[in-house]
Structure formats: structure tokens, C-alpha cells
A = this chain, B = another copy of it.
Amino acid sequence: MQQDTPATSIVSLRDVQKSFGSLKVLDGVSFAVERGEVLAIIGRSGSGKSTALRCIDRFERVDHGEIVVCGHRVDSPDVDLRALRQDVGIVFQSYNLFPHLTIEQNITLAPCSVKRMALSQAKELARKVLAQVGLEEKLHAYPEQLSGGQQQRAAIARSLAMQPKVMLFDEVTSALDPELTAEVQRVIERLAAEGMTMVMVTHEMGFAKSIADRIVFMHRGKVHETGPASILTSPTTPELAQFVGTGDLKS
């Protein structure tokens, strides 16, 4: 277990604890993400990966510990939530596009409402971010008219439109079949290449290996092992060894 939270981090967690009722889900989690870094969180189901990610964007309140994101003290009760969320983009497994709005409206909604951007400018932006995820032609489609992979890419575009400083992804490909998964992964790879800071929870070991600068392996609410992507091939703890072993078995 390492603890590295230098002052230059864009996201840093220090000794974060969180319980649901009597269940301790996060039990002293610490890690940090540098600007431009891609961090992958892996671990068994129920190990607290999603909870850790949700704490970063304050969808859950922590019981103890310190979280600083782009200068916002997320653990403090009076953090400015809306300012925080302008700096952080989050994408969930279940897309959560707004079904009653077209893709364009999905994307322009937040820039217009939150940043008071002019509609024409927002539409321009929508075109740009959709191009980034390769979906220009779906501007006027409704979410249900898209395949799962397209919906997920649109959801990423929607987050991008707020020009966040850091993006959080929670198993964004696990509802997709292999072909669509590849689509979405290509988009994320491109973002990484463009220098976006990202934290992603993922089950796809191959993807984590190929894209992450650093891996955080969670086990029973703790950061059990952390290091560069190479730890996946040469794990130092038996738990990680078993985990990646299981991962191999699955395929």
C-alpha cells in the first residue's frame, strides 16, 4: 500500500472512510491523480470501486478523510457542489442520457443552463464534441434511436461539453457487447492521448493495461496494491494475483 498525494494532484483522497449502515465500504482509501494522468481502479465486485468514484464527485458523502478535487474540498459540508461538478465530468455504466431530449439537446442543456452559453454557441460545441466521439450524424436523433455503444459515446460527449478538468468513468463498457465496447474504448483512448485527466473503474483488464498510467487495485474497501500497469502482469500481493488470474479464466 502506497500513499502518494503530492500537492500538484488534481484529485486526491486521503484516508477516506465510508459506511452504509454497518457495512464499511471504504476503509481508509488514499490515492492521488496528477494532471493528465489516467488512473484505472480495478477490483472484485463489492470492493468499493464505484463508491470511491462517487465520493470524488460528491454523490456520496464521506464519513472521514479528505478529498480534494481541482481545489474543492469535497469532504467539507459546504463545498460548492455546482462549481465542483463543472470541473468534474462523470459517466455511468447506464448512459443516463435524457430520453426526452435529442442528442444535441442533451449536450447543450448544461452549457446553456449552467454556463449561460448562447444556444448557437452551444450547438457549435455540441457538433465539436460529437465529432470527438465520432457521432456527428446523430445530432438530431433521440437516445433510444442509438445503439448502446453510441449512447455511451453520446454520454461521454455530453460530459465533455462542460469542458471538465477531470473525467470519471464507472464501468462505462460493461453493459455493451464486445464490438460496442471496442467503439467506446477507442473514444477513451483518444481522450487519453489528448491529455485528459481520467479516473476509470473498469472490468476490462486488457483495456486497463493498455491505457492506464497507474492502477489502483481495491480489495475490501482498501487500496490493496497500486502501481504502473505492469503490476497486472506481475502482481505483488496474492489477492491481485488471484484477481487477474480470475480475469484470465473468464475469457
Contact = CB atoms under 8 A, between A and B. Distances in A.
Given A178-B246, A178-B247, A182-B249, 12 more contacts: A44-B179, A45-B177, A177-B203, A178-B249, A178-B250, A179-B246, A181-B250, A182-B246, A206-B251, A248-B251, A250-B251, A251-B251
Nearest to A245: B178
A179 B248 CA distance: 11
Nearest to A177: B45
A205 B44 CA distance: 23
Interface of A is mostly: helix
Contacts of A179: 44, 246
Contacts of A250: 178, 181, 251
Q: Which 4 A-B pairs have the closest CB atoms?
A: A251-B251, A178-B250, A178-B246, A179-B246
15 contacts: A44-B179, A45-B177, A177-B203, A178-B246, A178-B247, A178-B249, A178-B250, A179-B246, A181-B250, A182-B246, A182-B249, A206-B251, A248-B251, A250-B251, A251-B251
A246 B181 CA distance: 10
Contacts of A177: 45, 203
A186 to B, nearest CB: 12
Interface of A: 44-45, 177-179, 181-182, 203, 206, 246-251
A175 to B, nearest CB: 12
Contacts of A203: 177
Contacts of A44: 179
Contacts of A246: 178-179, 182
A69 to B, nearest CB: 30
A165 to B, nearest CB: 32
A44 B149 CA distance: 14
A247 to B, nearest CB: 6
A190 to B, nearest CB: 18
A251 to B, nearest CB: 2
Contacts of A247: 178
A182 B242 CA distance: 14
Nearest to A251: B251
A177 B179 CA distance: 19
